[in-house]
Amino acid sequence: MGTLTNKRILLGITGGIAAYKSADTVRRLRDAGAEVRAIMTAAATEFITPLTLQAVSGHPVHRQLLDAEPGQRPTDAGAQDGMDHIELARWADALLVAPASANFLARLAQGRADDLLSAVCLATQAPVAVAPAMNRQMWSNAATQANLATLGKNGIRIFGPAEGSQACGETGPGRMLEPAELVTQISQLFVTGELDGLSVMVTAGPTWEAIDPVRGLTNRSSGKMGYAVAQAAAEAGARVILVSGPTALADPERVQTVRVSSAQEMYDAVHAHVGTANIFIGVAAVADYRPSQIADNKIKKDAQNITLELTRNPDILASIAALKPAPFTVGFAAETEDVEQRARRKRESKNLDLIAANRVGTNLGFGSEENSLLLIGQDGVTPLPIQPKTQLARALIRHIAVKYHATRTAGVRQIRR
């Protein structure tokens, strides 16, 4: 898997000869695992056609500030191009403007919002990077340099430019970085270092409790949230072990993935690998009960009624929280009612450092691309608003990193136990 797996990259293309390289940039971003949408300024379309970008990105190109149908979500089935500037801004995990013309840098430095690309740059919370491309004199001009200083101060990342021969026949600084280098630099934006040197274990997905060789009890967990959490922990610098029930998802990059089926297998795998884990995050939707007996052969439909006797499964999360010493232990609570109250009680009864509660049963939660969470710890409640699960996972990991470092510094957990 690539270094940008599951990342959503918005590629902004402005008017410059280097725009002809944009198709290659999109292709390389996708090869690295990213989903890519392109925004073109009017000038960019003089250099490369929107059709080319649509073909290589697999999505219609966004061009106008005011032509979107409001209200359509990027994750709605069939929604392709009905995203306004706010939805595009929220959709992106990172925004890369390549090539970024001198004119665009000036407009970005001013905080203009009079076309789609500049408006999205203003509206997004995701990191924004620009890859300048222009004639060397334009690059060296004091006005351009002042704009770059402003952009740097505003947290915009500047990728390049490189030095070399230019389309105008001159040689010097101002060449856009090559697409391969842009992909490398954008990948590095996702490495935060918040969990450097730490070891994290995550459980994810449903479990499968066999009834006979072909049938079983399971639930609707897709594994998306747990996988996103594992990946966010890896991006934060942790060594990550993911113990996963059956899912249709590919192993996350830079994560050691252990596949299991039943709750008992998950329990065994967790205890076999937990070792010196500093943080344990139980995201799996573990079956509470399993059939007391697994039939050796497929059960025949002879009888009118049959009874299935169920036996309680071990609580994996609680068993980890009970270890001495225990890792910083985080649980999830999917509730249909009284979300906060029930989650609070669950945190206390399982002796968790933190619980992430969410409401299920509406169209959020299981299987969906988006979710929101209520993080309940010893010292308060932090809501994480609705957002794509990949972004939610990063926000959760940031919160866990802060709490982990705070408790370990203060020795709070040792006192609490």
Q: Which residues bind ligand C5P (CB under 6 A)?
A: 203, 263, 282-284, 286, 313, 315-317, 331-333, 346
Give the burial string for 113-148 (b: 16+ CB within 10 Å, else e): bebbbbbbbebbebbbbbbbbbbbebbeeeebeebb
- Active-site annotation holder among 143, 168, 214, 250: 168
**CB of 161 vs ligand C5P, minimal distance in Å:** 48
Residue among 166 and 262 whose Cβ is closer to ligand C5P:
262
Residue among 52 and 351 whose Cβ is closer to ligand C5P:
351
**CB of 282 vs ligand C5P, minimal distance in Å:** 3
Residue among 263 and 397 whose Cβ is closer to ligand C5P:
263
**CB of 315 vs ligand C5P, minimal distance in Å:** 4
**The token pair that represents 116 in the structure block:** 């789609």
**CB of 346 vs ligand C5P, minimal distance in Å:** 6
**CB of 408 vs ligand C5P, minimal distance in Å:** 21
Residue among 129 and 263 whose Cβ is closer to ligand C5P:
263
Residue among 39 and 352 whose Cβ is closer to ligand C5P:
352
- How large is the angle between the packed helices 389-410 and 224-235, nearest 10 degrees? 60
- Smallest CA-to-CA distance from 168 within 132, 134, 130, 131 is with 134
Residue among 117 and 283 whose Cβ is closer to ligand C5P:
283
- Smallest CA-to-CA distance from 335 within 365, 377, 363, 309 is with 365
**Is 121 designated active site?**
no
**CB of 343 vs ligand C5P, minimal distance in Å:** 9
- Measured distance CA(198)–CA(238) in Å, rounded: 5
Residue among 102 and 287 whose Cβ is closer to ligand C5P:
287
- Measured distance CA(282)–CA(203) in Å, rounded: 5
**CB of 235 vs ligand C5P, minimal distance in Å:** 21
**CB of 267 vs ligand C5P, minimal distance in Å:** 8
Over the chain, what HEC string results? Answer: CCCCCCCEEEEEECCCHHHHHHHHHHHHHHHCCCEEEEEECCHHHHCCCHHHHHHHHCCCCECCCCCCCCCCCCCCCCCCCCCCHHHHHHHCCEEEEEEECHHHHHHHHHCCCCCHHHHHHHHCCCCEEEEECCCHHHHHCHHHHHHHHHHHHCCCEECCCEEEECCCCCEEEEECCCHHHHHHHHHHCCCCCCCCCCEEEEEECECCEECCCCCEECCCCCCHHHHHHHHHHHHCCCEEEEEECCCCCCCCCCCEEEECCCHHHHHHHHHHHCCCCCEEEECCECCCEEECCCCCCCCCCCCCCCCCCEEECCCHHHHHHCCCCCCEEEEEEEECCCHHHHHHHHHHHCCCCEEEEEECCCCCCCCCCEEEEEEEECCEEEEEEEEEHHHHHHHHHHHHHHHHHHHHHHCHHHHHC
> Do 181 and 161 contact (CB within 8 A), yes or no?
no
Residue among 342 and 413 whose Cβ is closer to ligand C5P:
342
Indicate which residues carry an active-site annotation: 168
